Structure 1
Amino acid sequence: MTGHTGARTRRPARRVAGFLAALLPVAVAVGLYAFGRTHTPDYTSGLFGQHGVGVIDLKARLGSALMALALVQLLLGLWMYRRLPGAGAAPHRVHPAHRLIGLLAFLLSLPIAYQCITAYGVDFTSSRVAVHSITGCVLYGAFVAKVLVVRSRRLPGWALPAAGGTLVVAIALMWYTAALWFFTGSAPGF
């Protein structure tokens, strides 16, 4: 009987831990949103010594590199889970490469995000800027979700591709609403 009682006390603890883990990505996204809305933007803020249009150009280039890494991540993920047509089984070295490229992508995103949120905050001056701002907050919540999903063995099989797919879509949307917009001359700057 004591073994049965122990299992009952562990289940609520697991549910609470699962609930808190599910809330963490939301808390990150909402926290970034709250900071971005309440922070006083510093439009003169630079990045790696660049200011004005130079910083926008640098962020567009870094964002494009991030987009390329996200596409590589997508292809490696599809290969690892045998969803890449004609590729066969992925060699063992693909798994650590996927992790390393994911880490590099995350690290590459940090200076871009830091400059964006400190220089501009979360802004709704146009629909493009609003989508970019909200997606930036969601991106880091999705990153936290992906890390939690990768570490969990109890989640359904669709959870990992959903988290990874959300990350790729968020990066693509960020790139589309910023870097591509800048490179095509559709925006005077942001």
Structure 2
Amino acid sequence: MLIAALSAGVAVAIWVIGRNHTPQYTTDLFGARGADAVTLKARMGSALFGLTLVQLGLALWMYGRLPRVAAAPRAVRFAHRVVGWVAFLLSVPIAFHCVRTYGVETTSARVQLHSVAGCALYGAFVAKVLVVRSRRLPGWTLPAAGSALFVAIGLLWYSGALWALNGSDAPGL
């Protein structure tokens, strides 16, 4: 229950900060501004989603969920942890730029989905980090936390990176 409260608290705190922040549309991302910053974020977001797919594959391998694949060697756990931290570190400048430049917006369904998923990503990250450290929780909690994190990143990629790299269009949005 404490993990759920902390995770929700992080997501809500980011939402509140983003809603009460005055957007600064001229903020740069590693020197890129405007459309160039959007393209850079889209590429970084695509790399993040790619790392998330690697994470999913490594997790399935670690927990013996890949058919006809031998048990994962110990190095797979280490790789999973390293890829996870690289993904997290890659997400931080993207999120910082989003919040600083735009805040949390609800101007359209796509933008609202993107804002909610962005806040949920860090709540899900907190949940996964805390759940993975616990030995007393039911076995389903780790896959649930990992799945929430995967879905949040997938929605962010779909509603942001794909949209930007596809000429401001994403199917269904």
- TM-score for both structures, normalised by structure 1: 0.87
Q: How large is the RMSD of aligned CA atoms in angstroms?
A: 0.8
From 25, 29, 44, the equivalent of 1:43 is: 25
Q: What residue is the counterpart of 1:81 in the other structure?
A: 63
Aligned 1:1-190 pairs, distance under 5 A: 19-187=1-169
- Structure number with greater Rg is 1
Q: Distance in 1 between matches of 2:96 and 2:154?
A: 18
AA of the residue aligned to 1:49:
G
| 2:3 and 2:131 in contact (8 A); partners too | no
Contact between 2:131 and 2:145, CA under 8 Å: does it hold in 1?
Answer: yes
| Distance in 1 separating the partners of 2:82 and 2:104 | 30
CA distance in 2, matches of 1:22, 1:38: 24
Q: Would the aligned equivalents of 2:45 and 2:161 in 1 still touch at CA under 8 Å?
A: yes
In structure 2, the partner of 1:6 is none
Task: Point out the more displaced range, 168-177 or 178-187.
Answer: 178-187
Structure 1 segments (4+ residues) deviating >2 Å: 19-22
Separation in 2, partners of 1:34, 1:87: 45
Using the alignment, how far apart are the partners of 1:36 and 1:23 within structure 2? Answer: 20
TM-score of the aligned structures, taking structure 2 as reference length: 0.96
The answer (yes or no) to whether the contact 2:64–2:71 under 8 Å persists in 1 is yes
Q: Which amino acid aligns with 1:131?
A: L
Quote how far apart the aligned CAs of 1:88 are: 2.0
The Cα shift of 1:22 comes to: 2.8
Distance 1:107 1:116 in 2: 15
Local SS of the residue matching 1:178: helix
Residue 150 of structure 2 aligns to a residue in which SS? helix
Structure 1 distance, partners of 2:74, 2:36, is 41
Give per-residue Cα distances to partners, 1:46-67, cap 9 Å, x unaligned: 1000001110010000000000
How many pairs does the alignment contain? 169
